[in-house]
Structure 1
Amino acid sequence: MKIFLLGGTKDSINIIKFIKENYDAFILTTTTTKYGSKLAEKGGSDDVIAHPLPKDEIIGIITDEKFDILIDATHPFASHITQTSASIAKELEIPYLRFERPITNLKNIDTSNLICVNSFVDAGKVIANEFNQSNVLHFAGANTMEDVLKSVSAEKFYPRIVKVKSSIEKCKKLDIDPSHIIPMTGAASKEENIELIEKYDADVIITKESGEIGGVIDKIEAANTKNIKVIMIERPQINEINKKDIVSNLEELDKKLKNFF
């Protein structure tokens, strides 16, 4: 079984490990960064590509190397690549699976400090209107900073990012003080988030609705402990995907793979 895996997330690493332990499979994992590719290699991927691929290159690789299935395990907010991957699988008539981490279950969580918006531009506007004198912890990745900073001062902005060259260059371009950059090595615990809130005297946290694996609950509970606000950007809806092609855990993935092969 030859698997073309769109990765770069913790979910994708778990998928690699699971498949290698349970199937006779060759896995090629593509990520947009060298950091992501190193994690994929450590997870057991047989081959990796560490840069974004345009649609025609993905089609060429899948066709030339005769991959059997395309699995999309990119971030829930990477809507463009998810739309593209679904269209590629349809065009090539190969099996397709979208691994979609479950939406965060907030049923037993105090959400009184939570503000939900539809975009990072909207998040910036909320901060400008309601928290314009506040320090802001940005826990949503380097690629989303620019939209927030359309309305928020860089002097009040503290991003937690993977310190790779591309992310550092984005910070420099946006005039973010290097001393404001918080190195990221994975999802932070509640206690680590509390330490960051205290260290940077923050009144607001920005996060994506990236599921429990993305640390959303720990961010909300840390904010509740310090009585500050969390602005959460809700997931984009991707209408191009058939619901039957979506799995949300390894058990569901296993059942689909067994059906396919």
Structure 2
Amino acid sequence: MIFMLCGTSDARELAVQIKAQGYSVLTSVVTDSAAGSLREAGLDVRVGRLTADEMAAYLKENQVQAVVDASHPFAEEAHRNAMAAAEQAAVPYIRYERESLTFDGQPLIQYADDYAEAAEMAAAKGGVVMLTTGSKTLQVFTERLLGLPNVTLIARMLPRLDNMEKCEALGLPQKHIVAMQGPFSKALNSALYDQFGVTLMITKESGKVGSVDEKLEAALEMGIETIIIGRPKLAYGHVFSRFDEISDTLKEMLK
């Protein structure tokens, strides 16, 4: 059995391909909403977070032959847990990582190493800041930006109850929340920037599949500055960005 950490559209496509090659595949996601599309594709799914120790026990109990980590590029905790679990269970770990997008020579784009640095850069710039990095790290930005006289913070996130409760707890006004399910087209991104008068957009370098290019193209055309937060730098070992590389590696490891 192949144990796959999923949760994105490209992870689902990879899981379907691996299953089509004759492997037994068990996908793992955090939420029921993410599980739905996997089940629709005919994949077996388990739902819920696992610690490294819990995952290791699960791998041993289910006689898993390899772990394929195809979770989101910024799911750092999931990556670390999967690598540790695979080591404990003595099974191979393979990382599928989306190709990065590069925007060299763009004067409107700056890079930050992490969320805290991005928040500091935004505080220095001021203006109407649209945050498109989700709710998990929202507090990093509200603590630094809310209350500044020259900053208006607009947060875009999934329309979930827990997200709205978090916004309320952090003091983010309802009128500054965009609760929508992506992916977002370039036209919709442009409309949102225009609606709120955005002068600075903050995003993560999630890759093309993560719709980063639509956000950036819209922002660049409108002359809006952008801060891109770089991916976590982890020592994955076996890491590939193409489906065929994953398939070839599995064949080699499990032959």
Give the alignment's TM-score, normalised by structure 1.
0.89
> Which deviations, in whole Å up to 9, do the C-alpha atoms of 1:155-214 show, x marking residues without a partner?
822222111233222222212223332233223122111011001111111100111111
Matched, 1:194 2:190: yes
Matched, 1:87 2:80: no
**Residues 1-261 of structure 1: pairs in structure 2 closer than 5 A:** 2-20=1-19, 22-49=20-47, 51-106=48-103, 111-131=106-126, 134-153=127-146, 156-239=152-235, 241-242=236-237, 245-261=238-254
3-state SS, counterpart of residue 125 of structure 1: helix
Cα distance between partner residues in 1 of 2:198 and 2:25: 42
The answer on whether the counterparts of 1:6 and 1:73 sit within 8 Å (CA) in structure 2 is yes
% identity of equivalent residues: 27
Give the CA deviation at 1:116.
Answer: 0.6
The answer on whether the counterparts of 1:16 and 1:44 sit within 8 Å (CA) in structure 2 is no
> Which deviations, in whole Å up to 9, do the C-alpha atoms of 1:40-98 show, x marking residues without a partner?
2223321221x211122211211111111111111112222212211221222112110
3-state SS, counterpart of residue 98 of structure 1: strand
3-state SS, counterpart of residue 16 of structure 1: helix
Q: How many residues align?
A: 251
**Are the structure 2 counterparts of residues 43 and 186 from structure 1 closer, same or farther at C-alpha, using a change threshold of 3 Å?**
farther
Cα distance between partner residues in 2 of 1:112 and 1:199: 24
Structure 1, unmatched stretches of 5+, are: none
Cα distance between partner residues in 2 of 1:156 and 1:37: 35
The answer on whether the counterparts of 1:120 and 1:144 sit within 8 Å (CA) in structure 2 is yes
Give the CA deviation at 1:39.
Answer: 2.6
Structure 2, unmatched stretches of 5+, are: none
The answer on whether the counterparts of 2:112 and 2:118 sit within 8 Å (CA) in structure 1 is yes
3-state SS, counterpart of residue 156 of structure 1: strand
The answer on whether the counterparts of 2:56 and 2:88 sit within 8 Å (CA) in structure 1 is no
The answer on whether the counterparts of 1:73 and 1:98 sit within 8 Å (CA) in structure 2 is yes
Give the CA deviation at 1:25.
Answer: 3.0
> Which deviations, in whole Å up to 9, do the C-alpha atoms of 1:14-61 show, x marking residues without a partner?
2122223x2223322222222222232223321221x21112221121
The answer on whether the counterparts of 2:115 and 2:140 sit within 8 Å (CA) in structure 1 is yes
The answer on whether the counterparts of 1:209 and 1:232 sit within 8 Å (CA) in structure 2 is yes
> Which deviations, in whole Å up to 9, do the C-alpha atoms of 1:97-146 show, x marking residues without a partner?
10111111335xx6221011111111111111111xx2221111111211
The answer on whether the counterparts of 2:142 and 2:172 sit within 8 Å (CA) in structure 1 is no
The alignment yields a C-alpha RMSD, in angstroms, of 1.8
